[in-house]
């Protein structure tokens, strides 16, 4: 076993961490407070290859390995988890789907601008009445000549308010997973409208918007894969996309450790730094252990992907562990900072609010346990 990063992977970490420290971290508190979606940052991330990091060079991508992709999302999320999820959905999920399942003309039309960070992508699976049970979705796509006509409403689509390309899942057949197809839909499509913008607990620098489809006419060649393959595409892509959320969680956890460690050294009570009190020091020790464990699970899963191995189980484990640890230690980070941790003077309260979502999206922790148990016990 070799736990060393390669020179290239170390260079990616250094480049992204430097970018994040200069362009993202200094603004994160203000973006959070003002709910700003920092559009310009994504063009700048495009310039350093991050928005196309999973895409082949022939479409303008940087074609990084999965470990480098995880490291990049981790370093961005360490500075701002809202920017982290935007990048994770765009570069870890959508651009991959387009390269893998769209027709060549669509790859050529979309990927170069998406790699440049000029166009963003969104993934529209969830509906008001189908979340964990995505196979119950109701949005319909009916074939009409050389088009499909889409009707329905997609809920909580990350990036939708700023996206050019949306991967939309809709029902072309009967009930259940086999009746679902996936489409690459342009934002400008007549009949596609933005719905409610969601106010949320955290990740305020990310955009979460509903998408309304009323007779949206989508050319038939925008079908991804074949009719009825949509659910398979969703599950397979989320299996990889989950590595992005595990990486986001690791980034938040790393930020919690940085913040708690620095504070415990500086803050004095009863005549000594609070880090000298075992009750505080042990919180920081536990944070460091879980950070290592979460990172190792994440990098192992990413390494397996790079070896061409099946990663669904490994990515569920990484996401489950890293998100649980991020939520738990973000609360402990606030505790280490005491009253200051509860104020917006320090970033601990932002980590606390941001961490919670990692246990929910791209499959809740309960859903990850179901998937892991299914590997061990068969269908429950």
Ligand X SMILES: Cc1cc2nc3c(=O)[nH]c(=O)nc-3n(C[C@H](O)[C@H](O)[C@H](O)COP(=O)(O)OP(=O)(O)OC[C@H]3O[C@@H](n4cnc5c(N)ncnc54)[C@H](O)[C@@H]3O)c2cc1C
The footprint of ligand X on this chain (CB under 6 A) covers a number of residues equal to 21
Query: Which stretch, 29-37, 39-47, 186-194, 365-373, contacts ligand X (CB under 6 A)?
Result: 365-373
In the shown chain, the binding pattern of residues 70 to 89 toward ligand X, with x for contact by CB under 6 A and - for none, equals -------------------x
Q: Is 366 in the site for ligand X (CB under 6 A)?
A: yes
Q: Is 126 in the site for ligand X (CB under 6 A)?
A: yes
Using DSSP's 3-state secondary structure scheme, residue 251 falls into: helix
Nearest CA to 159 out of 93, 86, 83, 238 is that of 86
Q: Is 172 in the site for ligand X (CB under 6 A)?
A: no
In the shown chain, the binding pattern of residues 191 to 210 toward ligand X, with x for contact by CB under 6 A and - for none, equals ---------x-------x--
- CA distances 338 to 225, 282, 333, Å, are 53, 16, 9
Q: Which of 153, 197, 364, 374 binds ligand X (CB under 6 A)?
A: 364
Q: Is 157 in the site for ligand X (CB under 6 A)?
A: yes
Residue nearest to ligand X (CB): 131
Q: Is 139 in the site for ligand X (CB under 6 A)?
A: no
362 is catalytic: yes
Q: Is 297 in the site for ligand X (CB under 6 A)?
A: no
Query: Which stretch, 76-84, 275-283, 345-353, 358-366, contacts ligand X (CB under 6 A)?
Result: 358-366
Catalytic entry in 75, 104, 362, 366? 362
Q: Is 123 in the site for ligand X (CB under 6 A)?
A: yes
CB nearer to ligand X: pick between 85 and 291: 85
Quick one: which H or E segment has residue 320?
Answer: helix 312-342
SS3 assignment for 108-123? HHHHHHHHCCCCEEEE
Q: Which of 156, 299, 351, 352 binds ligand X (CB under 6 A)?
A: 156
Return contacts of 100-104, CB within 8 angstroms, 24+ apart: 101/182, 101/224, 101/225, 101/233, 102/184, 102/222, 102/224, 103/221
Nearest CA to 138 out of 150, 149, 148 is that of 150
Q: Is 98 in the site for ligand X (CB under 6 A)?
A: no
For residues 217 and 229, what is the distance between their CA atoms, to the nearest angstrom?
20
SS3 assignment for 7-61? HHHHHHHHHHHHHHHHHHHHHHHHHHHHCCCCHHHHHHHHHCCCCCCCCCHHHCC
Q: Find the shortest distance in angstroms from Cβ 364 to ligand X.
A: 3
CB nearer to ligand X: pick between 266 and 366: 366
Residue 120 · residue 86 · CB < 8 Å: yes
CB nearer to ligand X: pick between 9 and 159: 159
Residue ranges binding ligand X (CB under 6 A): 89, 122-126, 131-132, 156-158, 200, 208, 357, 360-362, 364, 366-367, 370
Which residues are catalytic, by number?
Answer: 362
């Amino acid at each position: 076993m070799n736990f060393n990063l390669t020179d290239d992977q170390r260079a990616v970490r250094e480049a992204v961490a430097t970018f994040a420290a200069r362009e993202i971290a200094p603004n994160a508190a203000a973006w959070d407070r003002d709910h700003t979606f920092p559009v310009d940052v994504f063009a700048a991330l495009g310039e350093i290859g991050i928005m196309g990091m999973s895409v082949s060079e022939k479409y303008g991508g940087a074609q990084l390995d999965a470990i480098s992709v995880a490291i990049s999302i981790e370093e961005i999320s360490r500075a701002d988890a809202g920017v982290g999820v935007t990048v994770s959905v765009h570069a870890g999920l959508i651009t991959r789907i387009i390269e893998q399942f769209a027709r060549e003309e669509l790859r050529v039309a979309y990927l170069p601008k998406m790699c440049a960070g000029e166009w963003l992508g969104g993934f529209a699976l969830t509906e008001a009445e189908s979340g964990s049970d995505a196979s119950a979705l109701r949005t319909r796509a009916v074939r009409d000549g050389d088009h499909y006509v889409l009707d329905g409403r997609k809920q909580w689509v990350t990036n939708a308010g700023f996206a050019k390309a949306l991967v939309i899942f809709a029902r072309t057949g009967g009930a259940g997973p086999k009746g679902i197809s996936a489409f690459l839909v342009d934002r400008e499509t007549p009949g596609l409208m933005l719905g409610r913008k969601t106010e949320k607990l955290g990740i305020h620098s990310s955009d979460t918007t509903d998408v309304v489809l009323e007779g949206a006419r989508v050319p038939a060649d925008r079908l991804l894969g074949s009719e009825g393959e949509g659910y398979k595409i969703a599950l397979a892509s989320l299996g990889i996309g989950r590595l992005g959320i595990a990486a986001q969680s690791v980034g938040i956890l790393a930020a919690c450790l940085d913040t708690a460690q620095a504070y415990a050294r500086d803050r004095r009570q009863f005549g000594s730094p609070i880090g000298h009190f075992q009750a505080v020091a042990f919180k920081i020790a536990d944070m460091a252990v879980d950070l290592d464990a979460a990172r190792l699970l994440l990098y192992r899963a990413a390494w397996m992907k790079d070896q061409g191995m099946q990663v669904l189980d490994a990515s569920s484990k990484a996401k489950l562990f890293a998100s649980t640890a991020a939520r738990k230690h973000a609360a402990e980070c606030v505790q280490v900072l005491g009253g200051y941790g509860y104020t917006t003077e320090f970033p601990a309260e932002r980590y606390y609010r941001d961490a919670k979502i990692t246990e929910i999206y791209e499959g809740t922790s309960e859903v990850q346990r179901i998937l892991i148990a299914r590997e061990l016990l068969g269908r429950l």
